[in-house]
Amino acid sequence: MKLNTESNVYTIVYVTIVVIIVAFLLAFTYAGLKERSDINEQINKKQQILASLNQRNIAKESVDSIYKSIVKADLIVNQAGEIIKEGKNQDQDGFEIARKDYSKDCLPIYQCEIEGQKKYVLPMVGKGLWGSIWGYISLNEDGKTIYGAYFAHESETAGLGALINEQKFQKQFENQTLIDTDGTILEVVKSGQAGGSPIKCDGITGATLTSNGVNQMIQTYVKFFQAYLDSVKQ
């Protein structure tokens, strides 16, 4: 039997069959792997939040249980300090908000507890030199001193701006004052100019624009969170 592979009918039938096979194959693979990749995405985010609480390098398997034991609630608040959602389930409300949807009316904030001490994790997002940068800063119970910080970036220059992702840069935020009683906010200044001030951190040499981006991001988001932080301080 010899088919005429150039006839119109054959071409149409052939293409249809190929499309159906491909669609099924893809839908099947996607459905099979979706759960796994969603979990990966969540674990990745939880690792970042935990890193800001100085819980770094946790194995993938234990991330979930450690997160559950530390993070007590993922609230959503707004600029006026009002609570929009309570976030009692730890990773269902604030946690579900994607970075791009943060706004002054929708700010996730994580209430945590480490060794009996209350901590707050403030997520933030801004722009670096090439693309987005984001970070999490954790505060002590007093709502002003920094407990730990974590920053990450999409595509900053490796070896320069990309250093914000390294512990060396993040370490210097610890025990600094994020927001003083008179409302001054922590500044990231040119490398070497912080001079031990409790409300300044050194930027990265040769990466002025990325450092400025981090500074800008902190200024913007701390103002957003200010009202809520004031309310918990009392």
Enumerate binding residues for another protein (CB under 8 A).
3, 5-6, 10-11, 14-15, 18-19, 22-23, 25-27, 29-30, 33, 36-37, 40-41, 43-44, 98-100, 102, 125, 127, 129-132, 157-160, 206, 209
Nearer to another protein (CB atom), residue 116 or residue 192: 192
Is there a contact between 135 and 214 (Cβ–Cβ < 8 Å)? Answer: yes
Nearer to another protein (CB atom), residue 84 or residue 209: 209
The secondary structure of residue 44, as a DSSP letter, is: H
Nearest-approach distance from CB 144 to another protein, in angstroms: 26
Pairing, β 146-153 against β 132-139:
antiparallel
Nearest-approach distance from CB 50 to another protein, in angstroms: 16
User: How far does Cα 73 stand from its chain's mean position?
Assistant: 16
End-to-end CA distance of the chain: 87
d(CA 220, CA 133): 13
Nearer to another protein (CB atom), residue 41 or residue 230: 41
The secondary structure of residue 100, as a DSSP letter, is: G
Is there a contact between 210 and 222 (Cβ–Cβ < 8 Å)? Answer: no
Nearest-approach distance from CB 159 to another protein, in angstroms: 4
Residue 117 neighbours by CB under 8 Å, 6+ apart: 140, 141
Nearest-approach distance from CB 3 to another protein, in angstroms: 8
Nearer to another protein (CB atom), residue 132 or residue 145: 132
Distances (CA, A) of 93 to 51, 84, 109, 138: 20, 10, 10, 19
Nearer to another protein (CB atom), residue 201 or residue 204: 204
Nearest-approach distance from CB 54 to another protein, in angstroms: 21
Nearer to another protein (CB atom), residue 18 or residue 80: 18
Is there a contact between 227 and 84 (Cβ–Cβ < 8 Å)? Answer: no
Nearest-approach distance from CB 213 to another protein, in angstroms: 10
**70: nearest Cα among 87, 38, 93, 46:** 46
